[in-house]
Structure 1
Amino acid sequence: MKLDLSILVFGCFSFFTKYLDQKSITNAYVSGMKEEIGLLGNELNYLTAIFWASYCTAMIPTCYFITQYPANIVLPSLELGWGLATFGLAWAQNVNTLYAMRFFVGLFECASFAGTIYIIGSWYKPSETARRVALFYISSLLGTMFAGYLQAAAYTNLNGVNGLSGWRYCNEFDNWRMEDWHPGIRWLFIIDTIITLGIALFGFTFFPDIPARRKPLLLSHAEHTLARKRLVGYTAPPGLKLSRSIFKHVLRRWHFYAFVLLWTLMDLNGQIGGQPFSLYLKAYSPSVYSVVQVNTLPTIGTACSIVGALLAGIAADRIGNFWMPAMATTLLLMVGTIMLVVWNIGETGRLVAFILEGFVGPISPMAMSWATVTMASDAEERAVVTASMNSIGQAITAGVQVVMYPATGAPRWVSSFKANLGLNIVQIIGIMAIVYLGRRETDTKVTETDMEAAIVTGGDGVQDHVQKVL
C-alpha cells in the first residue's frame, strides 16, 4: 500500500497531465485554434512531430540520469519544467511560438513514462507488475478522455473569463464574418500548469528512488529492508552504471528488437483512434457534429482503452502471461480497421469502427510489463530496452503520421487504413514471435541450471546426469 501510494500517485497524476496536454492541442485545433492562430495545411501534424522529436531524442539519455541520479529529484524537476513550458502554450500568438513551446514540452516530458516504468520494475515482483503498469497507463487515457470534457466545458463556460483572449469559435460556420467570432479560452494549458505544480511538490516529498539507493519517506527502515528482501531472486539490484558495453550487450539479444518492434506496431496501429478520429468529426462539423460532440465522442474509444487495459492487467497477473490479453485486444482492433477499410457502412458504423480502435490501449501495458518481467534479472538491459521501446516507437510514429494521416486528408485516408490493417497482422505475428523466443530462452536457462547442478553434484553419476539433461 505504501509503495503504491508513493509511486503510483505521482506517476499516474504526472502521466495524466501529459496526455491531458497532448489531447488539448488537438481539441483546441478542432475548436477554433486553427482559425485564430492561422494554422495552414498540415501544421497540426508538424506540431505533433516536433513534440515527438524532442521527446524521443531525449528519451534514451534519461536512462543515464535515472540510473545515476535520484529519481525522486530528476522526475519532479522535469515535471516543473514541463509545467512552465505548458504555461507558455497558453500565451502563444503564432505558430512559431507553438513550435517552440511544443519542443520544450516534449523535452521535459521525456522521462515521465520510461522513468516511472523503471521505478515500478525496481520495487515490484513480476506477478505484481502488470496490473500496476496497466493502472499507470490508463492515467494517460483518463487524461485524453478528461481533455475532451474539459475542452467542452471551457468552450461553454470560460469564454472570455478575466479578459483572456484565446481559441475562438464562430457562431455561424457558413458565411462567417470576423465580427461573428467571440473570445474563447486558453484555460486548458493554464489548468494543466496548476495541476502540475501540485504533482511536482508531491513527487519531491514522497516519490521513491530505487531501493538500493535510499529509503522512501513513507517506509520505515524495517519496511525498506523487507521491500529489498522481497526482490531477491526476482529483480536485479538497480545500482547501474551505463556504458558502451551495456549497449553492445543489449543489441546482441533478441529482447531489444522484439519489444521495440511490438511497441512500434502498437503506436502505428493506435493512430486511428486519436487525431484522425477528431479530424474525421471536425470534417463534418457543424453540419453533423457540434463542437462539443467533436471534443467528447472520441472519449468513448478512450473509455474502451481504460476498461480493456485494466482487465488485461488483472488477467495477465492471474494467468501468468501477457500474450493472451495482447492477442485478444489486437483482434478487436483489427475488426475496427476492417470496417474503416470497407467504409460504406453508414455513419453509425464508422463511429463504431473508430471507437473500436480504442482497444489498442491494453497492448501498451502488456508490452511494457512483458518486457519488464522478461528482463527482470538484468537491470541495465531493462532500463535501455524499455526507454528504447517508447522513444523509437514514438519517433517512427511521429514521422509516419504526417504521411499517413495528414490533416488535409480528412475525413478518409484510404491507403492508410489498408496499411494499418496489414500492421495489425504483423502485430499478431510479433506477439507470437515473442512467445516463441521467450519460451526458448526459458528452456535454455533451465537446461543450463540442470547442467550446473549435475556438475556440482559430482560423483560417478555426473556423466550419466549430464547426458540425461542433454
Structure 2
Amino acid sequence: MAMVEAMDLPPVASAAMIEPGDHLMTGDALPSRKGRWEKFVSYVWDSDYYDKSDAERRLVFKLDIFMLSAMTLGWWLKNLDQTNLSNAYVSGMKEDLHIEANQYTYMNVIYNAVVCGMQIPSNFIAMKVRPSLFLALSEIGWGIFTFAQAGAHSYQAMYGFRFCIAFFESFYYPVAFFILGSWYTKQELAKRIGLWFIAGPAGSAFSGYMQAGIYRSMDGLHGLAGWRWLYIICGVIGIPIGFLLFFLVPDFPENSKVWYLSEAEKELAKARSARNGTAAMKGNINLKSVLLVFTTWHLFVLAPWYGIYGFAVQNGAQFAIYLKAFGYSVSRRNVMASGMYLIEIPCLLIYTAISDRMTRYSRAWVCLIPLLWGLFPTGVLAFWAPSNPLRVFGFMMTGSIYVTPVFYAWVAEICAHRTELRGFVTGATSCVFYCLNAWLPAIVFLQTDGPRFEKGFKTTFACCCVSAAGVIVIWFFHRRDLRQRALEAQEGSNSSGVYGKEHHHDVESKI
C-alpha cells in the first residue's frame, strides 16, 4: 500500500526515469558518503540531504538564504500588521475612535471580504507578472496604508484603510505558497513552508509585545496615543522589505532572472522540478485547463476542507477580548495573547519535520492527529469550562492545532502534475477560508456576545470535528488517484517501455 501511495507520474518522459539519488550535472554531481554526522543531518533536516550532489545542496542553500528569508520577512510583517488591529483595539483605539457595538467586527469582515475576492486571481497574475515585482509592490502598498491608519479619527476611516490594506495583502498568501511549491521537492517543502509560516505567529506575537512596550513608553509621546505609534512603526518597516522582495524572490525556475543563481543552477532547478513531478510553469494560461479544474475532486474537496479547518482555529482571535473582559491589564492582555502564538511555533516545526519524512506514506496523518487533539481545547471553550485557568489554557492551545504548512505541502504534492490545477486550487483554498471569514464571524462572534461567544466557540468545535473527518476523505481521493496513475503508468510501460508524451497527456486529461 505504501509503495502504491508513494508513486506519482512525472510530467515529462525524461524525468520519469530519474530517481531522487540521480544527478544531472557533472564534476561535483556525486552524492556524499554518509557517516554518523551525515546520517544525523539527514534525520533532522532533509532526509535526502546527503543523497544530493554538492551542486544541488548549494542551490537549495541559496534558495533558503535568499528566497525563503525574504519571503519569511514579508510574511512576518503581514501578520504583524494584521494582528495590530486587535492589539490597537484593546489598547485605546476603541475609546479614541468611539467604536461601538459590532463596528470592530465589521472591520474584520471588510478585510476578509476583500482578501477573499483576490485569492484566485493572485496566482494567475503571478503567472503573467513576475512574482518578484508583484509581491514587492504589494508589500509597499500595504506598508503605506498601515502607516496611514495612525491618522484615523473615526471608525469609518478605519473601514477604508482596512479595505486598502486587504487589497494589497491579499496577494501574498497564495503567491508565496505557489512559488515555494515550484522550487522545493517533496522531501524539502513542508519544512520550508513551516519555517516561512511560523513568521506569522512570530509576527502576531511580536505585535503584542510591541504594543505592550509602546503603551508603556510611547503612549502620549508628541501627543499621539500608543496605538497610533504602533501603526507608524509598522508602516515604516514595510517599505524596505518590499524592495528586498524585488531583489531576492527568484520568480519561477522557468523564467528566473535572479542575480544569485547561475544559469547552470537554473537548469538544475528545472530538472529538480521535473524529477519531483512538478509541471513546468509556461507563462501562459490555458483556459481549457482551467475549466478542467471544475471537473476534478480537488477543487470541491480541498478548498471546502481548508475553509472549515481555518475556522476551527479561530478561537485565538477572541483571546485578547476575553482577557480585557476579565480585568487583565493592558500589558498582560497583549503579552498573554502573544503566548498563544509562541506555542504555535514549535508545534509547526515538529509537524512539518515529521511530514517531510512521511512523503513515502502520506501527510494525512500529520494533519489528522493535531486536529483530533484540537477537540479538547476547542471543547473547553465550546462547553465553557467553569475554571478561568482552564479557559485560558483552551485559548493558548489554539496554536497547537495549526497544520496549514503541512496541508499546503500536501496540496502541492497532490496537484503537482498540472500547473493550472496547483495555482487554482492553492488560491481557491484560501479564497474559501476568507469567504467564510467575511460573514461567519459577524454571525457567531458578535462582540455583543463576548466574552462567552457561545455560538462562536461551538461553531469552531464543530468545524474541528468536521475537518478531522475531512482529512480521511482527502486521503481516500488522493490514494485513488495514485492507484489510477500507477496503473496507467504500468500499462504504458508495458506497451512502450517508457512514459511517452502521448501517454502522459492522456493521464493528465483524466486526472
**TM-score when scaled to structure 1?**
0.90
- 2:285 counterpart of 1:245: no
- Aligned mates of 2:82, 2:355 — CA distance in 1: 29
Residue from 380, 399, 403 that aligns with 1:339: 380
Task: Check the 8 A contact 1:335/1:356 in 2, yes or no.
Answer: no
Equivalent residue in structure 2 for 1:420, among 456, 460, 463: 460
Percent identity at matched positions? Answer: 28
Measured against aligned partners, the alpha-carbon deviations of 1:263-316 in whole angstroms (never above 9, x if no partner) come to: 111211111112x1111111112xxx1111111112222122111111111000
Give the equivalent residue in structure 2 for 1:177.
Answer: none
Secondary structure of residue in 1 paired with 2:260: coil
SS of corresponding position for 1:218: coil
For residues 392 and 339 of structure 1, the distance between their equivalents in structure 2, rounded to whole angstroms, comes to: 27
RMSD, aligned α-carbons:
1.5
1:463 counterpart residue number: none
Q: CA deviation at 1:344?
A: 3.5
Q: What is the letter of the counterpart of residue 378 of structure 2? A: T
Instruction: Find out whether 1:207 has 2:249 as its counterpart.
Output: yes
Instruction: Give the count of matched residue pairs.
Output: 435
Deviation at 1:237, TM superposition (A): 0.7
After superposition, give the CA deviation of every residue in 1:40-79 in whole Å (9 maximum; x if it has no partner): 1011110011111111112212222100111111110111
Which of 79, 94, 104 is the matching residue for 1:44?
A: 104
Moved >6 Å (runs of 4+): none
CA–CA distance in structure 2, aligned partners of residues 457 and 27 of structure 1: 62
Aligned residue number for residue 409 of structure 2: 369
Residue in structure 2 matching 1:277, options 294, 301, 319: 319
Do the aligned residues in 1 keep the contact of 2:347 with 2:400 (CA within 8 Å)?
A: yes
For structure 2, the residue ranges without an aligned partner over 5 or more in a row are: 1-60, 499-511
List per-residue Cα deviations over 1:416-452 (Å, max 9, x = no partner): 3222222211111110011111111100001111111
Distance 1:80 1:158 in 2: 25
CA distance in 2 between counterparts of 1:155 and 1:425 reads 39
Query: Could you tell me which amino acid in structure 2 is paired with residue 351 of structure 1?
Result: V
Amino acid of the residue matched to residue 295 of structure 2? R
8 Å contact kept, 2:92–2:227: no
Measure how far apart 1:330 and its partner are: 0.7
Q: How does 1:156-167 map to 2 (within 5 A)?
A: 156-161=216-221, 163-166=222-225
Q: CA deviation at 1:403?
A: 0.9
Residue aligning to 2:433: 393
Instruction: Please tell me whether the aligned partners of residues 160 and 185 of structure 1 are also in contact (alpha carbons under 8 angstroms).
Output: no
The alpha-carbon deviation at position 35 of structure 1 amounts to 0.6
1:305 is matched with 344
3-state secondary structure, aligned to 2:375 = helix
Aligned partner letter, 1:64: F
1:358 aligns with 2:399: yes
- The answer for the alignment partner of 2:190 in structure 1 is 130
Say whether the 8 Å CA contact 1:18–1:109 is kept in structure 2: yes
Equivalent residue runs for 1:40-439 within 5 Å: 40-161=100-221, 163-166=222-225, 184-234=226-276, 235-274=278-317, 276-285=318-327, 289-320=328-359, 321-361=362-402, 363-439=403-479
SS at match of 1:84: helix
Q: Give the partner amino acid of 1:278.
A: A
Could you list the per-position Cα deviations for residues 150-187 of structure 1 after superposition, in whole angstroms to 9, with x for gaps in the alignment? 010000011122x1423xxxxxxxxxxxxxxxxx3411
CA distance in 1, matches of 2:232, 2:456: 35
> The residue matched to 1:38 in structure 2 has which SS?
coil
Q: Deviations over 1:210-260 (max 9, x none)?
A: 111133211122222222222223211112322542332111111112211
Distance 2:396 2:246 in 1: 38
Letter in 2 for 1:88: A
How far off its partner does 1:457 sit? Answer: 5.6
Ranges in structure 1 where 5+ consecutive residues have no aligned partner:
167-183, 459-470
Secondary structure of the equivalent of 1:122? Answer: helix
Q: Verify the 8 A CA contact 2:181 2:412 in the aligned structure 1.
A: yes
Shift of 1:90: 1.0
CA distance in 2, matches of 1:420, 1:273: 11
Q: Which amino acid aligns with 2:488?
A: E
8 Å contact 1:126–1:373 — kept in the other structure?
Answer: yes
In 2, the alpha carbon distance for the partners of 1:243 and 1:88 equals 40
TM-score norm. by structure 2 comes to 0.83
Distance apart, 1:94 and its partner CA: 0.8
Structure 1 position 370, deviation (Å): 0.7
Amino acid at match of 1:318: R
User: Structure 1 222/293 Cα, relative in aligned 2: closer, same or farther at 3 Å?
Assistant: same
Paired residue type of 1:228: K
CA positional deviation for 1:358: 1.8
What amino acid sits opposite 2:428 in the alignment?
Answer: S
Q: Secondary structure at the match of 2:316?
A: coil
Shift of 1:341: 2.7
- Tell me the distance in 2 between the aligned counterparts of 1:449 and 1:406: 54
Matches of 1:65 and 1:457, distance apart in 2: 39
